[in-house]
Structures are given as structure tokens and as C-alpha cells.
Amino acid sequence: MKHYSNPDSNNWQGRISNKSLYLHEKVKCVPLMEVPEPPKKSIALLGYACDEGVKRNQGRVGAEYGPDVIKKSLAKMPNHLPSTVQLYDAGNITCPDGDMEAAQNALSTGVTSLLDKKHFPIVLGGGHDVAYGHYHGIKKHLDSKQQGQSIGIINFDAHFDLRQNGNNNNSGTPFYQIAMENKAEEINFNYLCLGIRKDANDRNLFQTAKELDVNFVLSDTFQIQFLSEINTWINAFIKTVDKVYVTIDLDGFSSAYAPGVSAPSPMGFTPHIAVECLKTIMASGKLISVDFAEMNPKFDNDGQTAKLAASLVHHIAHELFP
């Protein structure tokens, strides 16, 4: 594959126990198209090493280095997964020539392959244009089964990412692209945003969200004291769809927790509310895949953002496969 690089075992270093006490001792580095169908349960990590969409969106580039940095942080974390659960590093989708659309297509193919083989994909970005390729990978997998299952997108983010793509596609357009394609195919656009900030979206974006019937929770409400109400909204949304795809934009978190992102702000949400909401989503049994976007090591402070992303990956993996 042109837009692909094999997994690098050097990303998986840490304390040696010889008892698989740490994730670097658990993981298997296998090229994407060679990842086998597991005998039981499996998690497959796939990087999206592309920030061309951020560049096009006039953001701070550097997110192409995000996947490897998250893997390096995750490697050192303890392994509590059962021995029956496999963990794979399937390498990275790359964008060496600025052809973001080709990278998104490669990601779509990779996600479909992993889902077809019954892995749970966790995609590590990379700009939020990761969402477009990831969504289509899920859709192709479901369509191939001829199940006609509906997909609900839950986006933890400060931004709608519903910018119109008249000039070009970028990290701010993925959900508008999906919405327009779904409209053309007469498919419902099921989209819930958690943590939306008024200081990060102009009035046109709010109008677009209204026209597309987008569900969202504003940042001043996306707080732990309102967890019960938020969970009610999440559960109501999940009931309307067959499968749930979660995308976590790290710039939605306050820069106190996530300084290493493409568009930081101190006014974002906390990890605590995100973790509690993820528990609710996972408890539904409908979660099919997850990704992380906008990890930018160039601006990280003491690896803080990478540790946050890795901790969330760790939490999701162990919550799904206790």
C-alpha cells in the first residue's frame, strides 16, 4: 500500500516483567493486511499519520506524528487484559504526498479489513479528517453484510467540524461531507456532539448544525455535575441507531489537560466527564469503533496530551474487555 507504513516495534518499549504486566509485552506488531482473524476477542491499533487536513484548515501542523507518540505512551502502561484478548499494532496510514483523500481511502480500506476480521479498531490520529475515512470504513463493513444498519456518530469535540467543503476537504469538513453523502443516499445523518463551544464555532456552523438536525451539548453543560442529564441524552441518541462510532478530538479537552493539540483552549472539558460518558456508550453494546484526533506532539508539554490519549485508549480497551 502506498499510503501505509508497517508497525514499528521501537514504539513498544518499557519496563520488562516477562509476565506480560505491561502493554508493550502484550502487543503484536503485524502489518495491516496480515493481521489474522483472532480466535476470540481482539483490539487493533491503526495510526492515521496525516495532518494535511489541518494544514488546509489553517491549523498548527504536527499531528502526523501523533500516532507513534500515543503508542509509545501506551506501551509503558500496565496490562490487565485477559490472556484471551489479543492486542495488535497494525501500523500507520500515511500521507507522504499531501494527498489526504488517498490517505482517507487507505484508512477506510484498513478499517473495513479489521472489522471484517472481527477486530475492534482504535484509530490514532492525525487530523480530524480521520473521521471521514474511518466512517466510510465502518459503512463499507456494514454494507457488505447487507444488514442496512444505521451508524450513530458521537463526537467529543469543541468544534462541529461541519464546515462546507466548497474550496477543499480538510480537518473541519468531515461531518459535513458525511452529511451530504448520506442525504444523497437518503440515509439519516445521526450525529451527536459533546462539548461544543460557542467561542469555537461561528453562527454559520450553528445554523448548519440546526439544518442538519445535529444533537449537541454545549461546553458549559458538558460538566460532571450534569452527568445524569447528559447520560439521558446519550442513551436517547443511541436508541435511534444500530451501531455507534465514537471520535474523540483531543482539542475538546481543556489545554490544562491537552496542550499538545492543533487548536488548544483552556475552556475545554475535563477527562472525567469524557470517561463517564464513554462508560455509558460502551455499556450500550453498540460501540463498533473509536478514534482519536489532533494529537500534536510538537506542542505537547512533558508528554501530557499523549498520556491523556493513551490513558483513554487504556480505559476503553479494559472496559470493553475486562
Residue ranges of the binding site for Mn(2+) = 128, 157, 159, 161, 249, 251
What is the spatial distance between Cα 322 and Cα 232, in angstroms, rounded to a whole number? 25
What is the spatial distance between Cα 253 and Cα 258, in angstroms, rounded to a whole number? 6
Q: Which residue has the cell 462546507?
A: 164
Residues of each annotated binding site: 128, 157, 159, 161, 249, 251
Q: What is the 3-state secondary structure (H, E, C) of the chain?
A: CCCEECCCHHHCCCCCCCCCCEHHHHCEECCHHHCCCCCCEEEEEEEEECCHHHHHCCCCCCHHHHHHHHHHHHHCCECCCCCCEEEEEEEEEECCCCCHHHHHHHHHHHHHHHHHCCCEEEEEECCCCHHHHHHHHHHHHHHHCCCCCCEEEEEECCCCCCCCCCCCCCCCCHHHHHHHHHHHCCCCCEEEEEEECHHHCCHHHHHHHHHCCCEEEECCCCCHHHHHHHHHHHHHHHHCCCEEEEEEEHHHECCCCCCCECCCCCCCECHHHHHHHHHHHHHCCCEEEEEEECECHHHCCCCHHHHHHHHHHHHHHHHHCC
